Amino acid sequence: MLIIIIRKIMTSPIVSILLPNYRTLKLTKICLRLIRQHTDTDLIKVIVIDNDSKDESLDYLRRLDWITLMERKACMGESVGMAHSLALDKGLAMVDTPYVMSIHTDTFVYQKEWLNFLIDEMNKNPNIAGVGSWKLEQKSLFRYGLKNIERTVQKLLFPRMGKGYGKMEGKGDNFYYLRSHCALYRTELIKKYGLNFSQGEDTAGRQMHKALVDNGHDMIFLPTEVLSQYLLHVNHATMVLNPQLGSSSRSVKTGTKRIRKALNLVNAQDILNNDSLDD
């Protein structure tokens, strides 16, 4: 018994994982079970914030005793993005670990070293405040080439048209920032500057990223080809599975294919069949 107690003290949680949930039972179940399967749970505190789902996903979360569940009531008139940001802030208020991480229910980890990898990247320099990615998606060479051509044309034409950088991705007010599908931060710096994930109708974490940079800290973007060795992100799965939130029929169709492909990659059915991962 003494050995167990000592081990618990020496392996107290160092990372709080914030996971907003809204009516994605299957994805939420897969996401959490994969975290449990590929992570030393002594080192993490998983805080799931339900966004007023009132469905089976909330019933499922209430049955799990290895997570901390927070239930948030929706505010009248709030947007989907605002609900997500406010959920992250509700979880952030509970964080007391050195690191805090935001992920989505459609973020799937599938390599046991995933968390150690992110922490090691963070610890390469004490001035690093955050580690993550901009967009975690693999593009075909054709689409990648088209995007590069588009950026080159914009870079050449916009200044001559008096638009500055316009809406060019990664430039001016359209700067890159760590997206909440996978972002690890130093908690002490978020607390030091009084930061939150939400900022009006802005996307979750965008202004927090800018504030950390403005205060002289480094924010590290990991290449997709590197980070995808440890995890994948489906992208907009909650919107696809809940079209009443505003997804077009075309987005639902293409998104459904994207979700199906991702589920096959992580052997989702095996995970769903393994109820022992909930114990």
CATH of the domain at 65: 3.90.550.10
Domain count, the chain: 2
> In the sheet where 15-21 sits, what is the strand order?
68-72, 44-51, 15-21, 99-103, 182-186, 128-132, 218-221
- Residues comprising the chain, all counted: 279
Residue 192 covered by a domain: yes
Q: Spell out the residues 6+ positions from residue 133 whose beta carbon is closer than 8 angstroms to its own.
A: 178, 179, 181, 182, 183, 221, 222, 224, 227
Nearest-angstrom CA–CA distance, 216 and 198: 21
pTM above 0.95, yes or no: no
Of the residues 155, 175, 195, the one at which a domain ends: 175
126/106 same-domain check = yes
Q: Which two three-digit tokens encode residue 263?
A: 């589920």
Q: Which residue range is the domain that position 166 belongs to?
A: 136-175
pLDDT in tens, 200-233: 889 999 999 999 999 999 999 999 999 999 999 9
Q: Spell out the residues 6+ positions from residue 206 whose beta carbon is closer than 8 angstroms to its own.
A: 177, 199
Name the DSSP letter for residue 107: E
C-alpha torsion sign, points 79, 208, 13, 113: positive
Instruction: Answer for the pair 179, 84: CB distance below 8 angstroms, yes or no.
Output: no
Confidence band of 77 (pLDDT split at 50, 70, 90): confident
pLDDT in tens, 90-108: 999 999 999 999 999 999 9
**Please, what is the average pLDDT of the chain?**
88
pLDDT of residue 156: 58
- Average pLDDT score over residue span 238-246: 92
Confidence band of 170 (pLDDT split at 50, 70, 90): low
Look at 183 and 161; give whichever has higher pLDDT.
183
Of the residues 175, 202, 236, the one at which a domain ends: 175
Of the residues 148, 175, 202, the one at which a domain ends: 175
pLDDT of residue 8: 46
**What whole-number percentage of the chain has pLDDT above 70?**
83
- Average pLDDT score over residue span 130-155: 61
189/252 same-domain check = yes
Q: With a cut of 80, say whether residue 141 has pLDDT above it.
A: no
28/94 same-domain check = yes
